[in-house]
Amino acid sequence: MSVEPIDMRGRDPASAAQMLDRAADAAPVVAAPPRLAARDLFVRDALFADDRMRAALAASMRRAVEAIDAGVRGEAAALLAAQGDTGAVSALRDGDGTALFDRLLACGALDDGPLVRELAMRAAEVLLAERLPAPIDEDPDRPALLARLAQSHEPAVASAARALAIAEARRRGDGLALAVEIDLPDAVVTRLAWHVAAALRAMTMPHGAGVDAALATATVRTLAARDGDARMEAAAMGLARAIDASPEERAILLLDALGDQRLSLFCALIAYAAELELADVRALIVAPDDDRLWVVLRAIGLDRAALARIGYALCEADPRRRIEDFADRIDTIAAIDMHGADAALAPLRLPAVFRDAIADVERRAR
Amino acid sequence: MNAIPPAMPPSIAEFDSAGRLLSAGDRLDRLNRAAGGDVGMPFAVPPIAAIVGLAGRLGIPIARMVTVGDGEGDAELMVRADAVAGGVRLSVSGWRALHADDSDEPPAADFLKAEADWLWEADAALRLRFLSPIAGKRHGIDVDATIGQPVTRLFRLAENEGGELPMLAALAAQGGFTNQRATLREGGEELLLSASPLTDAGGRFAGFIGSARIVAGLAEPEPPAPPREFAGALGDRLERALRVPLGRIIAHADSIAAQSEGPLRADYAEYAGDIGSAARHLMGLVDDLADLQSVEDPELRLDIESIDLADVARRAAGLVAVRASEGEVRIDQTELAEPHPAQGDFRRALQVLVNLIGNAVRYSPSGGMVWIRLEREGDTVCVIVADQGRGIAPENHERIFEKFERIGATEAGGSGLGLYISRRLARAMGGDISVDSAPGQGARFVFTLPAAG
């Protein structure tokens, strides 16, 4: 399947002022990838996601379900064992994880917009990060950024850097062990967890009275037991906060983060400096053609050289971005007025739920 | 390990602000003229001209690996362009003719993972970037304190018989390594480390992705075998002469099929996919022939140790999982939870089970199931791989284990060597493979090894 090339030439060769105006008028919600039904991820001819993306999404969907499954099942089995319901315990223990996943898929429980969007964003971020080019002029003996930060003299920075490294390692997993961390935002995990519980319930039918209650308690406990701070995104923001970069330091840190392929840290540094949500910055990075990225980067004071290096790195990493077109536009981008850019970001600083609601209302009004 | 080839000084060229060549060192000048270019024009090799143009317009240094035709063959160049006053300065180094490398082949990444107890990853400065979470739990490693540290803070490396440290030799050669003996500084567990090199998008060495295997129970290390003279049909050089070009075909075909340089017409991307599959198929045949040779070698060396066949079976199933899901075949591994210790060579046992499970998947109907079961009978441990395929008639039960035999219609023809090699390996380890099947009743292959302890 082919990827539609983004034709920049179709737009006006915009002046900097025009870019700002467009950014201010743009839909308040940062563009999300097209709605992906989970079932489509497993269909060979999905048209809107390439193979690597599909594979990455499918894998992370399975791992998310696996992690919740393991948590709820274990907790429920323990409760039922204490009640002496050995029949239900073995039904739970013997239940096939793959069949559970298939059942959730078939009934549409995984066709959850926010869930798929979150996993799609993560998959896109990982695939992009893998392809970021190594920095030129790098001293091969100098440790990469996160390794250096982990050894920083400032204890807050050092521990935040290590926390991010660990969170990234956990998120990646290594394919050797079952996923055990439930690493999803609250907005997304709750619905999924209750569906897993319902699927487990179906697997243990027919059953005695205590099973439903045990499953409910197990689910509540599993949801409560998650360590919110372990999530990679929170760790990245924590590190950006701890570093608290000055405007002069920003450019170097951003370029070092790209060079170390730490895209989450890159996004967090931008989000912190621009006072935006990390998820929104991530969406701007992952989209191949959203000009608001450049508005944001100008708003935090990056100069032409830094913008050029960032643009080049992103173009090398994302085949949908055209380096020739970027080179055509770099002067326009560098000419965007910093203060105007900051003002243009005001809509993005509204709470995300408000923006979603605005988009809904406007869509229906048309 | 090989000595690093002597570094050639870079070849320099200067361009004006419009990208026209002002002057060029000898090698670049020859390259340019051979492509029909001259001073006063843009560089005649398009990827290099593109790099010059980008550096000029963006005003930043640009570096990329570029493959160009150079005389009779191809050369891989490291091309770097810097914007300078009045134009662009080009520096080209690493002029490397693309030949076969004659270092030991490092383990392919998949097999590396399958053989590992846990994984680690280091950057080019040998700082730890990643440790499997399970490593922390199993060995009590403080993962928190270890990330970002040099790997030598975690591992105490041991020299091999030649007085070398394989990991450091690999670092210098920017290649992979196998079987670096090491102990954990915290806790003293003995490990065997192996790794494949990581390269960045520009093709430069970017560190290692490595595996660690726990060594407990391994017999005293024997001195490494002297290099063998291959009298077999597939000599060392011939094998490499086949592998290297096939590897390149696969890499390029995959990259085209993935449209990594930009969008393509759909049928071209598909053709590239076909080319990649065919090349992989050929690579599989080369693997089989190499295996055949080593298996028939009277000096076949096996590392017999205590292994858990349940663990090996799970890993083998994992390696076959992608093929299985493409054919919509399920692999039932529910009975592989309990350890079943046996005596055997881990790598070879894995190879046998990948062969048996892979066959079962290949011959299963779409939507079918493959079962893997373990049994202990007296002082033998059995792995049973059962499928729902069309079955094998009793008169063929011995034939299938013979060299180059294939029963029935040849789908994408394999080499007919898989079962022959597997049974030889099984017998060399003190076990065997047998089959129980009848037409229309699927097949059960039973792989046995002596029990441990």
Q: Which residues of A touch B127 (CB under 8 A)?
A: 143-144, 147
Using 50, 70 and 90 to split pLDDT, how confident is the model at B372?
very high
CB contact under 8 Å between B129 and A150, yes or no, is no
Q: Residue range B331-350: average pLDDT?
A: 88
Query: What pLDDT, on the 0 to 100 scale, is given for residue B196?
Result: 85
pLDDT of residue A41: 46
Strand arrangement of the beta sheet that strand B380-387 belongs to: B330-332, B369-377, B380-387, B443-450, B432-437
Measured distance CA(A117)–CA(B76) in Å, rounded: 40
Predicted pLDDT at A301: 93
Interface of A with B in 114-173 (CB under 8 A): 131-134, 136-137, 140-144, 146-151, 161-163, 165-166, 168-170, 172-173
Rounded to the nearest integer, the mean pLDDT of chain B is 80
Query: Of B406, B309, B391, whose CA–CA distance to B352 is shortest?
Result: B309
Tens-digit pLDDT profile for residues B397-439: 888 888 777 665 444 456 677 888 899 899 999 999 999 998 8
B262/A2 CB distance under 8 A: no
Lowest mean pLDDT among A139-153, A314-328, B81-95: A139-153
pLDDT at A255: 94
Q: Does B263 sit within 8 Å of A2, measured CB to CB? A: yes
The pLDDT score that the predictor gives to residue A1 is 37
**Non-local CB neighbours of B59 within 8 Å, separated by 6+ positions:** A304, A305, A308, B83
pLDDT digits (tens, 9 = 90+) for B65-97: 888 876 666 777 889 999 999 899 999 887 766
Q: Which of A51, A142, A312 sits opposite B60 (nearest CB)?
A: A312
Give the ipTM.
0.72
Q: What is the reported pLDDT for B304?
A: 87
Q: Do A140 and B116 touch (CB under 8 A)?
A: no
Instruction: Check A172 against B130: CB less than 8 A apart.
Output: yes
Average pLDDT estimate for A20-37:
54
From chain B, pick out residues whose CB is under 8 angstroms from the CB of A327: 53-54, 57-58
- Residues in chain B within 8 Å Cβ distance of A150: 147-149
Provide the pLDDT for residue A24: 62
Nearest to A308 among B60, B131, B149 (CB): B60
Higher pLDDT, B72 or A61: A61
Question: If pLDDT is split at 50, 70 and 90, which confidence band does A149 have?
Answer: very high
Mutation to test the A interface, candidates B79, B82, B90, B123, most A Cβ within 10 Å: B123
Comparing A113-127, A175-189, A331-345, B336-350, which segment has the lowest mean pLDDT?
Answer: A175-189
pLDDT digits (tens, 9 = 90+) for B373-383: 999 988 999 99
Lowest mean pLDDT among A39-48, A145-154, B170-179: A39-48
Q: What is the mean pLDDT of residues B249-264?
A: 76
User: Does residue A44 carry a pLDDT above 50?
Assistant: no
Most confident of the ranges A216-230, A292-306, B122-136: A292-306
* Percentage above 70 pLDDT, chain B: 84
Measured between CA atoms, the residue of chain B closest to residue A313 is B62
pLDDT tens digits, one per residue of B273-318: 888 888 887 887 777 777 777 777 777 778 888 899 998 898 888 8
Residues B212-245: tens digit of each pLDDT:
888 765 444 444 444 444 445 556 667 777 877 8
Q: What's the whole-number average pLDDT of chain A?
A: 81
pLDDT in tens, A80-89: 888 888 888 8
Query: Which residues in chain A touch residue B62, judged by CB atoms under 8 angstroms apart?
Result: 136, 312
pLDDT at A262: 92
pLDDT at A188: 80
A268-272, B36-40, B126-130, B367-371 — which is least confidently predicted? Answer: B126-130
pLDDT score of B5: 43
pLDDT at B216: 65
Q: What was the pLDDT predicted at B72?
A: 65
Which of A2, A161, A169 lies closest to B130 in CB terms?
A: A169
Determine contact: A52 vs chain B, CB below 8 A. Answer: yes
pLDDT for A56 equals 77
